[in-house]
Structure 1
Amino acid sequence: MEITDYELFEVPPRWLFLKITTSDGTVGWGEPVVEGRAKTVRGAVEELLDDYLLGEDPLRIEHHWQRLYRGGFYRGGPVLMSAIAGIDQALWDIKGKHYGAPVYDLLGGAARDRVRVYQWIGGDRPADVGDAAAEKVDAGFDALKMNGTPELRRIDNPAAVDAARNRIAEVREAVGDEVDIGVDFHGRVAKSMAKRLVEALEPYEPMFIEEPVLPEHNDALPEIAQHTTTPIATGERMYSRWDFKEVFEQGVVDLIQPDLSHAGGITEVKKIASIAEAYDVAMAPHCPLGPLALASCIQVDACTPNVLIQEQSLDIHYNETSDVLDYLADPGVFEYDDGYVDLPTEPGLGVEIDEAVVRERAEQEVDWHNPVWTHDDGSVAEW
């Protein structure tokens, strides 16, 4: 068996799907994308497949991962690692189908019976979070996540802190103490404000504070941690086990959030998770993406002891024209029951893509880019 062909499909709302075909007709799917940079990642995927993988045995996944990563003098970063990630997902899909087993069975077998998931509320500039939280809890979720703030100045006024405090207070009042609330700072908060905000939000006992500062400022995490007992989460913009070394050695991050479509795929994230386990750090993979990214996450979640919970993007504010279930032949594979999803039993990634829908929607114009925010003085703000 060898890799004979591949196709890429850019589809709404902001995803890129990869289909790899082998000489025996086996097909594997992956999701290599950087949100807002799909065309750039497409070029990287094409280069890697054309230069390294066409004509190769798809089952030698570790060998191929090493060639794709180490075969270039310049390594890492979101574009290359996302391209590798989607290819890696597709190769695991092929391997699972070849052996007639879910990917998690090839990685040691299930460590749990089902995976807990959380639901997004509130949008980019969070509003109406109390009602939204109550609605999602009524739908069966017992874990939620919200953005903590809109854009902030590097040093902002007391009203900005009060607004963030009032939002989480509204959610806590609406759902009570038996529901977990993750608060995402989204890297839009400078360390000067992060210290104030983590103290202000602590009385409402967030499940975690996510990305309190951008990853280029991870050296500030120990100082921020001194201002709170709330667990600290980060990692969606970290792309390899080497990127995570510093936060593990600091000893202040409690939850890592690598993205299966950005951090080198199933092969790399499984390794990152194992290192995290040695440092007593939990994992909650980042996934505001499509069905193939989520399927890949659930395969790793299933066989990874230190996974806490899984992000998923059903009804997330980005999905304005298409949603996760639209591209699946059987949407029931992602049916959430009391805030959990059952482990898939079908081989490979465990999902069947509706290729006709993919081809139809790939004909649409897709032009998603994240907003560029500005402060009152016209300077660029973090989104």
Structure 2
Amino acid sequence: MKVADIRLTPVAIPDKPLLNCKGVHQPYALRTIIEMTCDDGTVGLGESYGSIKALTGLREAASSLIGLDPFHLHDLKARVLRALPNGGGINAKTAVADHKVTDVVFSAFEIPCMDIQAKTLGRPVSDLLGGAVRGRVPFSAYLFFKFAGHIGQKPDEWGEVMTPDAMVGQARRFVEQYGFQSLKLKGGVLAPDVEIETMLKLREAFPHHPLRIDPNGGWTVKTALYIAKKLDGVIEYLEDPVLGMEAMAQVAHECGIPLATNMIVLEFGQIAEAVRKDAVKIILSDHHYWGGLRASTHLAKLCAVFGLQVSMHSNSHLGITLAAMTHLAAATPNLHYACDTHYPWTNTDIIEGGLFQFEDGALAVCDKPGLGVSIDQAKLKELAALYESAGMNDRNDTLYMQQFDPAYERRVPRW
């Protein structure tokens, strides 16, 4: 069995004007859909970033993978490195964390290879990762402050959410519609005291739901410690309150809330420093840049060795990514926190059978061979056409925010 063809399709997903420390989401999020076909007709599916750097790296590497045995992942890595001898740089210069393009590209192609492997064996992908240790994977509601609608458009169905009370209303809708048992707020947007009030009102409204907040490094050490003191005993963990290993370590040593990260520990080589400095207690994995599914299970094992916890990071994504996340989470014994997901904000997909359906905030682990999903080609064509008409090839939350507020400047930290 050899790889005979690789088809890369960039797509645009309608997005909501969700706020973060860099600005606001543009009308579309960008993804790349991967269809890898072997000489026996077996097709493996994957999904990755749609940024121009990632897409260029995927395109440059794809032709070198023809003839690859999809079971030979070391060979896959070697071929990707040869195809991108200069590393390809980082995935997106406007992001708050640097992801190497070589890591992104390998991770992207590992998923369809493992989909093919599992289909060939007649097993779900989770079996290739050691087997599912749970039949259902819990996810967390991802709460955002947001504008009422995009520029030139009517207010969307979620409306404006710019106050603590409005955020409680958003959370109620997530819990009622999807049954989420955990709540995460994207912070670093409004003044610290407003975000403290928001978390306290969420705790009052949901006394038994674990809460967390993530400002993406949007606070100074002083602000982070002030907020941590106010939220001690309220939140289960504080995610990336500040930028940099030294600042995270300082906050960690002076507050009693566990710190989580997907910004200062992005590669295996960074784990040792984080452990030495006791900078974090929870690492948020993401198979899109940690080296794929198998590397993410290795990360979980290292976390167990060093007494760290593990959970899962999310960005705007479609169902192929959600399927991969679910298989990975199912096969990670020491994953004790609900995983992040943007999926409810997406409200569209390219998989057959319609959208994934959460029950009590969780997804059942699919026992079909492979990832357990297939592509609706008509829907893929529709979102590919949207990509062509959207006029975007990268994400820039700050630039779009300046269309709402011309005086807006990107400052991280902001508070």
Q: TM-score, normalised by structure 2?
A: 0.80
Cα offset, 1:73, TM superposition = 5.5
The equivalent residue for 1:32 is 48
Q: Name the structure 2 match of 1:297.
A: 325
Distance 1:25 1:222 in 2: 51
Distance 1:21 1:100, change over 3 A: same
Provide the C-alpha distance between the structure 1 equivalents of 2:294 and 2:83, rounded to a whole number of angstroms: 17
In structure 1, C-alpha distance between the alignment counterparts of 2:120 and 2:141, rounded to whole Å: 34
RMSD of equivalent CA atoms: 2.5
Matching residue's letter, 1:49: A
Change beyond 3 A, Cα 1:237–1:21? farther
Secondary structure class of the residue paired with 2:57: helix
For residues 253-293 of structure 1, the C-alpha deviation after alignment (integer angstroms, 9 at most, x for no partner) is 22211222222211321221111111122222112222222
Shift of 1:43: 1.3
Q: Give a deviation string over 1:200-255, Cα, whole Å, max 9, x none.
A: 2224x1121111123xx112222101332222110257543223332233334222
The alpha-carbon deviation at position 2 of structure 1 amounts to: 0.8
Matched, 1:64 2:76: yes
Which residue number in structure 2 is paired with residue 264 of structure 1? 291
Deviations 1:279-323 (A, max 9, x none): 12222211222222221111111111111221122333xx4xxx3
- Aligned residue in 1 for 2:198: 167
Q: Which moved more, 1:98-107 or 1:122-131?
A: 122-131
TM-superposition CA deviations, 1:308-350 (whole Å, max 9, x none): 221122333xx4xxx3x52221246x32221221111111112
1:124–1:147 CA contact under 8 A, matched in 2: no
Q: Distance in 2 between matches of 1:191 and 1:71?
A: 41
Percent sequence identity is 25
Select 1:355's aligned residue among 369, 377, 400.
Answer: 377
TM-score (normalised: structure 1): 0.86
Deviation of residue 92 (structure 1)?
0.7
Q: Which residue of 2 aligns with 1:250?
A: 277
Of residues 188, 209, 217, the one that matches 1:179 is 209
Name 1:114's counterpart in structure 2. 136
Matched, 1:150 2:189: yes
Cα distance in 1 between the residues matched to 2:367 and 2:212:
30
Alpha-carbon contact 1:62-1:267 (below 8 Å) kept: no
Distance 2:271 2:12 in 1: 31
User: Does the CA-based 8 Å contact 1:19-1:90 persist in structure 2?
Assistant: yes
8 A contact 1:100–1:347 mirrored in 2: yes
Matching residue's letter, 1:164: E
- 8 Å CA contact 2:125, 2:327 repeated in 1: yes
Please say if residues 236 and 286 of structure 1, whose CA atoms lie closer than 8 Å, have aligned partners that are also in contact: no
Aligned to 1:285: 312
- Cα 1:108–1:190 change in 2 (3 A) is same
**Structure 1 counterpart of 2:352, from 319, 326, 329:** 329
Q: Does the CA-based 8 Å contact 1:131-1:174 persist in structure 2?
A: no
Q: How many residues align?
A: 360
Kindly indicate whether residue 269 of structure 2 is the aligned counterpart of residue 218 of structure 1: no
Q: Unmatched 5+ residue regions in structure 1?
A: 152-159
**What residue number does 1:207 align with?**
236
**Which position in structure 1 is the counterpart of 2:109?**
87
Do the aligned partners of 1:17 and 1:29 also contact (CA within 8 Å) in 2?
yes
In the alignment, which residue of structure 2 is the partner of 1:157?
none
Q: State whether residues 318 and 349 of structure 2, in contact with CA within 8 Å, keep that contact through their aligned partners in structure 1.
A: no
Aligned counterparts of 1:231 and 1:331: Cα–Cα separation in 2: 38
Match for residue 155 of structure 1?
A: none
Give the 3-state SS of the residue equivalent to 1:104 in structure 2. Answer: helix
Cα distance in 1 for residues equivalent to 2:270 and 2:44:
28
Answer yes or no: is 1:137 the counterpart of 2:175.
Answer: yes
Separation in 1, partners of 2:241, 2:330: 28
The within-5 A match list for 1:313-328 is: 313-316=342-345, 319=346, 323=347, 325-328=348-351
Distance apart, 1:146 and its partner CA: 0.7
1:18 equivalent to 2:41? Answer: no
Q: Which residue of 121, 139, 151 maps to 1:99?
A: 121
Query: Shift in Å at residue 376 of structure 1?
Result: 10
Note if contact 1:133-1:174 (Cα within 8 Å) is conserved in structure 2. no
Q: Secondary structure at the match of 2:201?
A: helix
Q: Bigger CA drift: 299-308 or 366-375? A: 366-375
Structure 2 distance, partners of 1:86, 1:123, is 30
Counterpart Cα distance in 2 of 1:269 and 1:11: 26
Residue 72 of structure 1, CA deviation: 5.7
For residues 83-124 of structure 1, the C-alpha deviation after alignment (integer angstroms, 9 at most, x for no partner) is 211111111111111111111111211122211111112335
Question: Which residue does the alignment assign to 2:58?
Answer: 45
| 3-state SS in 2 of match to 1:31 | strand
Matched-pair contact (CA < 8 Å) for 1:236–1:258: no
